[in-house]
Amino acid sequence: RKEVEQDPGPFNVPEGATVAFNCTYSNSASQSFFWYRQDCRKEPKLLMSVYSSGNEDGRFTAQLNRASQYISLLIRDSKLSDSATYLCVVNRKNNNDMRFGAGTRLTVKP
Amino acid sequence: GAVVSQHPSRVICKSGTSVKIECRSLDFQATTMFWYRQFPKQSLMLMATSNEGSKATYEQGVEKDKFLINHASLTLSTLTVTSAHPEDSSFYICSARLGPSSPLHFGNGTRLTVT
């Protein structure tokens, strides 16, 4: 089993739709959680950190459920520019690195 | 803040040659940097953790003699792909962060093509 698992996707949604991604992690001692987006043939870029109380940044909402060991990302009012691969990233406690999910591909269509 | 610069962005080399990739933290000091590799349509795979002033820590299955890492200063780590072969063709990305709980900031990646 992979340490960080994401919805395989792809997600194809119309503009304006709401879409949600989930990510589960296996290491219960994981401490920090992030969502990144990666455009084709580019490096990942930080979308948002995920906090225990949940957090929102414009159309994006991230939530963390430690008991069930998953994090989620909700995108409201999807834009064409939201088309990308979304990566779930988990920081392993006592390890100086992060683990990435395989990513979920989102395509927003007109 | 937290800008990471990677160079070159693209390199094409012949089989058997060595290629050096540089990763710099421009506005902060990074005692640790990370090197990843990504094949088309696959996820990022951590290759090694680069530690300033000491040896790098390699992930299982990554040959340390083939992928030489040097982290001689707090702002520079280099990855050298030695005796490159076509199967080494990939997207190599470095990253660094401000602290253990901080998010990673990535360089813009190096697309290596070995002919």
Tens-digit pLDDT profile for residues B26-67: 988 888 899 999 998 888 889 999 988 888 999 999 999 999
**Residues in a beta bridge with B114:** B13
pLDDT score, position A91: 87
Phi, psi (5° rounding) for residue B94?
-110, 160
Which residues are CB-contacts of B115 (< 8 A; sequence separation ≥ 6)?
B12, B13, B14, B15, B86
- Residue B52 and residue B30: Cα distance in Å, rounded? 8
E strands, A2-103, are 4-6, 11-14, 19-25, 32-38, 45-50, 55-57, 60-65, 70-75, 84-91, 98-100
Nearest residue to B31 (alpha-carbon basis) of B53, B4, B52, B56: B52
pLDDT score, position B1: 64
Q: How far is A26 from chain B (nearest CA, A)?
A: 17
Of the partner residues A31, A43, A91, the one whose CB lies closest to the CB of residue B108? A43
Of the partner residues A46, A97, A103, the one whose CB lies closest to the CB of residue B43? A103
- Residue B83 and residue B47: Cα distance in Å, rounded? 17
Q: How far is B51 from chain A (nearest CA, A)?
A: 10
pLDDT in tens, B61-111: 999 999 999 998 999 999 999 999 999 999 999 999 887 778 889 999 999
- Residue B107 and residue B92: Cα distance in Å, rounded? 9
